């Protein structure tokens, strides 16, 4: 198949959607498919090769004016199917991409699929109100197919799509964007020593951008409680802080800096900043425990959770909002309530005191991660694309 993937971010830009697009592109190509990626403008390199992917860096901005540019690029590529990777923040909260399926469905003969990484609505315009969420629902309604990465989004979209012909839907979880591959010279003890972390100290790792959904305040408050107990604890924030696309994260990062100072944690907090995937892997492998206290509960749509699973880490995270049978507390993760610093601190401390449980959780986490390999994800995705290409065209939604 010749596949065109549209994404509002792509490496070297920072962002989970861009990383996902790159990984699924590699895996689809490995299956024999031709993959074209349409993404943000780079005037010096408007078209380049990323391994065997053809990357068209030619979209200046993602407002309504982007439609004509996208249409010209698609006409030139002549794909058999179009796949939009959607997360509002990846498109700078601009709603232009949300209306692309509706405005172009009559002009494009090939099927169009949107992969929803979450259902966060775009900004649109001041006082848009309910139109913001409507923009997400109608984006799904006017596609030929819809992919969701988790059960809660699948259920929400299935309930929101009301008119025939309804798009075909598939639930295909994501995988880890960070492979457990540190530099060849990596030694855990040497890495910790170089960062001022003793082998008998407790290093708690957090991976991901810092935004309001991640429970950073809870994690800092829990760390402060451990410090009060004279626990030799260090908290390391791994990876970029804010990402390239979502500018709202920058204000929040400043708030987090102020909270670190208010809790007098500056000597207990490390931040790697945006770094090479191998260095991210090193920091994860050097950690004793991974803490991901999401305010909205753990979800398999979180690439950061998948990365920690793939690294075989003992993970403390928060109880999912919807039943997620793959996450079994006491078996492959430990679940605590969201926004509960004392519970988080107590659980981290208990886990630090129980190396056997840490080993068990890490082993089971790695086994769970194997279920979300990129070759499996690509195979399911390609099978869905092929089904949509082969099915008779449906009547156009008015």
Span 68-117, pLDDT tens digits? 999 999 999 999 999 999 999 999 899 999 999 998 877 888 999 999 99
- pLDDT of res. 124: 80
In terms of domains, do 228 and 304 share one? yes
In terms of domains, do 27 and 7 share one? yes
Token pair 């800096």: residue: 257
* pLDDT over threshold 60, residue 64: yes
Question: In the structure encoding, which two tokens stand for residue 236, read together?
Answer: 């390391």
Instruction: Specify the range with the lowest mean pLDDT, choosing from 245-249, 269-273, 383-387.
Output: 245-249
Q: How many CB atoms lie within 10 A of CB 171?
A: 15
From the list 263, 315, 273, 267, the residue with the least C-alpha distance to 294 is 315
In terms of domains, do 137 and 233 share one? no
Check residues 125 and 227 and name the one with the higher pLDDT. 227
pLDDT tens digits, 257-312: 999 999 999 999 999 988 899 999 999 999 999 999 999 999 998 999 999 999 99
pLDDT tens digits, 310-366: 999 999 999 998 889 999 999 999 999 999 999 999 999 999 999 999 999 999 999
In terms of domains, do 220 and 349 share one? yes
Evaluate whether residue 227 is within a structural domain. Answer: yes
Evaluate whether residue 342 is within a structural domain. Answer: yes
* pLDDT over threshold 90, residue 393: no
In terms of domains, do 143 and 275 share one? no
Q: Band the pLDDT of 127: cuts 50, 70, 90.
A: confident
* Cβ-defined contacts of 130-137 (< 8 Å, 24+): 132/95, 135/95, 135/98, 135/99, 136/88, 136/98, 136/160, 137/161
- pLDDT of res. 128: 81
In terms of domains, do 18 and 38 share one? yes
Per the structure, the complete domain to which residue 241 belongs is given by 188-372
What is the DSSP pairing of strand 53-59 with strand 47-50?
Answer: antiparallel
Cα dihedral 143, 87, 367, 363, rounded to 10, equals -170
Evaluate whether residue 69 is within a structural domain. Answer: yes
In terms of domains, do 141 and 73 share one? yes
pTM for this predicted structure = 0.84
Q: Band the pLDDT of 225: cuts 50, 70, 90.
A: very high
Measured between alpha carbons, how far is residue 253 from residues 193, 217, 237, 248, 260 in Å?
Answer: 27, 11, 12, 9, 11
Q: What is the three-class DSSP state of 155?
A: helix
From the list 148, 191, 166, the residue with the least C-alpha distance to 286 is 191
Evaluate whether residue 396 is within a structural domain. Answer: no
In terms of domains, do 210 and 311 share one? yes
- pLDDT of res. 395: 52
Q: What is the CATH number of the domain that holds 100?
A: 3.40.50.2000
Q: How many domains does the chain have?
A: 2
Contacts of 375 (CB under 8 A, 6+ apart): 27, 30, 31
Evaluate whether residue 275 is within a structural domain. Answer: yes
- pLDDT of res. 129: 85
In terms of domains, do 139 and 212 share one? no
Evaluate whether residue 359 is within a structural domain. Answer: yes
In terms of domains, do 133 and 220 share one? no
Would you say 192 and 282 are in contact if contact means Cβ atoms under 8 Å apart?
no
In terms of domains, do 44 and 10 share one? yes
Would you say 113 and 142 are in contact if contact means Cβ atoms under 8 Å apart?
no
Would you say 76 and 105 are in contact if contact means Cβ atoms under 8 Å apart?
no
Mean pLDDT of the chain: 92
In terms of domains, do 238 and 123 share one? no
> What percent of the chain has pLDDT above 90?
79
- pLDDT of res. 346: 98
The Cα–Cα gap between 181 and 280 comes to 9
* Cβ-defined contacts of 54-58 (< 8 Å, 24+): 55/10, 57/10
Evaluate whether residue 180 is within a structural domain. Answer: no
Evaluate whether residue 248 is within a structural domain. Answer: yes
């Amino acid at each position: 198949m010749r596949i065109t993937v549209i994404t509002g971010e792509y490496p070297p830009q920072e962002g989970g959607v861009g990383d996902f697009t790159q990984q699924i592109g590699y895996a689809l190509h490995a299956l024999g498919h031709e993959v074209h990626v349409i993404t943000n403008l780079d005037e010096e390199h408007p078209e380049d090769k990323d391994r065997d992917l053809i990357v068209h860096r030619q979209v200046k901005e993602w407002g309504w004016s982007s439609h004509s540019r996208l249409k010209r690029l698609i006409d030139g590529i002549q794909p058999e199917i179009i796949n939009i990777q959607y997360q509002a923040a990846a498109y700078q909260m601009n709603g232009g991409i949300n209306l692309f399926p509706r405005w172009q469905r009559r002009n494009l003969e090939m099927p169009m699929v949107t992969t929803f990484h979450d259902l966060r609505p775009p900004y649109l315009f001041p006082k848009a109100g309910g139109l913001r969420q409507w923009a997400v629902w109608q984006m799904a309604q006017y596609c030929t197919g819809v992919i969701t990465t988790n059960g809660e989004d699948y259920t929400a979209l299935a309930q929101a799509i009301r008119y025939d012909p309804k798009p075909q839907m598939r639930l295909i979880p994501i995988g880890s964007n960070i492979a457990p591959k540190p530099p060849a010279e990596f030694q855990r003890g040497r890495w910790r020593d170089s960062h001022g972390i003793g082998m008998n100290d407790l290093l708690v790792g957090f991976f991901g951008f810092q935004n309001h959904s991640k429970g950073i305040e809870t994690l800092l408050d829990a760390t402060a409680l451990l410090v009060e107990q004279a626990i030799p604890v260090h908290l390391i924030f791994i990876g970029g802080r804010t990402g390239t696309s979502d500018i709202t994260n920058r204000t929040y990062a400043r708030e987090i800096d102020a909270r670190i100072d208010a809790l007098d944690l500056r000597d207990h907090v490390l931040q790697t900043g945006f770094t090479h995937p191998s260095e991210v892997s090193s920091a994860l492998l050097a950690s004793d425990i991974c803490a991901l206290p999401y305010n909205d509960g753990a979800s398999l749509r979180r690439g950061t959770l998948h990365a920690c699973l793939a690294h075989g880490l003992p993970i403390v995270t928060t109880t999912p909002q919807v039943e997620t049978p793959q996450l079994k507390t006491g078996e492959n993760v430990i679940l605590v309530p969201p926004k509960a610093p004392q519970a988080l601190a107590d659980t981290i401390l208990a886990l630090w005191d129980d190396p056997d449980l840490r080993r068990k959780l890490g082993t089971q986490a790695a086994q769970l991660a194997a279920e979300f390999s990129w070759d499996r994800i690509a195979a399911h995705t390609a099978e869905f694309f092929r089904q949509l290409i082969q099915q008779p065209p449906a009547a156009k939604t008015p």
